[in-house]
Amino acid sequence: MDVLPSARALLATGPLCDNCLGRPFADRSFGLGNGERGRGLRVAAALADDEDFDPGDPHDCWVCEGATARFDEWAERAVEAVEGVEFDTYQVGTRVPPLVEENEVLLREDAGLEPDAGEPLRKEYNREVGKRFGRLTGAEVEFGRPDVQFLLDLDENRVEATVNSAFVYGRYRKLERDIPQTEWPCSDCRGSGRDGADPCPTCDGTGYLYPESVQQLTAPVVEDVMDGVDSVFHGAGREDVDALMLGTGRPFVIEVEEPRRRDVDVERLEADINAFADGKVEVEGLRLCTHGMVERVKRLDASKRYRAEVEFGGDVTAADLTEAVGALEGTTVEQYTPNRVDHRRAAKTRTRTVHDVEGELADPRHAAVEVHGEGGLYIKELISGDEGRTEPSLAGLLGVSATVTALDVLAVEGEDEPFEDEAFFLD
């Protein structure tokens, strides 16, 4: 294609700014801006035809109606929209008035070009305002999931700014029993804390069945330090309310919505949380992470290591225990859905592997049993046999009843790979 005749045809449609003249050729000569393309064509056409040079006034442009003269202004407005917010990455989107979109098609048709020749004004706007925003703030453009994103609504003359969530990964230990992982609203008053005009008698007016949770002991500190508007706690599974979480701790991600700070000192944050949680909960290994870590924490197959305090219905010798424990090690256990499990869940038989078991007798009626099992293995039932619904079981092998009196989780680890994959960390 010879560009000069096309440029003449475009100029003949009416007053055009350099950008609107150059944009139909946006896919030519990489490295030029559309404004430079348009200016070059305008100069070349004037020289070739030996005509007086008319630079064209962007405000008179019949296609964009002066929009290309306002890149700087929109970039400054975007900066203002996130004043006081900390971010490293951004993305700019533009909503162009429908009339201007129609003009773009008309321009090309009138000049005998394809209706989508070059690129649309929307794309040029995203790029040009984005470049300026980057220069003004030092932030980098990111097309995946940026810290902040903008929609420049040229039609409504408005900047819509979105501050995306920030994420902190860590592992928690729960050192006291009867603390649920997440807030547990009272089912009687549905969390309102009210019973008509009176406080709800079930929860003493607190709205919660348990006064504290791992979430309530950790997430508010992160939310406060990051100066966000809300937070969400994502755990890699959860232990029973009455179980302790010890050892390696359990992986989690705390998501802070609309944070004004995201580049926080995680060591200091860790100390702040641990002071706030006051020995009931402890966190460690805090790191800033990506949004992708939320899915990883929630979906990665994990194996668990448990420690169970067990009481027997008859006397057991150390030799019996060693033999029974040896028989369980490495076996595949069939477990029919236990009675204690939520009855809304469809009952079925699941099979899970017992990786490793160790038992230590305290006296003929009591033992401590450590089990390392595949995720989803029901430990209380592995010990008790659950009236024949779990096979094999410690009780079945010993020939006496066995009951778990206390259950703690010692480790939560990825079954095939660790949770801590460097690709998901920001620091």
Cite the annotated binding site for substrate by residue number: 306, 378
**Candidates 240, 263, 356, 421; catalytic one:** 240
Q: What is the smallest separation between the CB atom of 19 and Zn ion, expressed in angstroms?
A: 5
Beta bridge partners of 305: 372, 411
Q: What is the DSSP letter of 330?
A: T
Cα distance between residue 426 and residue 250, in whole Å? 20
In terms of Cα–Cα distance, which of 325, 396, 387, 398 is closest to 365?
A: 398
Q: Give ∠ CA 155-159-161 in degrees, rounded to 5.
A: 140
Q: What is the DSSP letter of 415?
A: S
For residue 202, CA distances in Å to 36, 192, 215, 241 come to 73, 11, 22, 18
Reduced to 3 states (helix: H, G, I; strand: E, B; else coil), residue 409 is: strand
- Told to judge if 240 belongs to the known catalytic residues of this protein, a careful annotator would answer yes
Cα distance between residue 243 and residue 177, in whole Å? 6
Strands (E), 175-262: 194-195, 198-199, 230-235, 244-257
Cα distance between residue 84 and residue 210, in whole Å? 37
Cα distance between residue 234 and residue 212, in whole Å? 16
Q: What is the smallest separation between the CB atom of 56 and Zn ion, expressed in angstroms?
A: 9
Q: Using the minimum distance from each CB to Zn ion, give the nearer residue, 61 or 411.
A: 61
Residues that bind Zn ion (CB under 5 A): 17, 20, 61, 63-64, 68, 186, 188-189, 200, 202-203
In terms of Cα–Cα distance, which of 269, 263, 255 is closest to 87?
A: 263
What is the set of active-site residues? 240
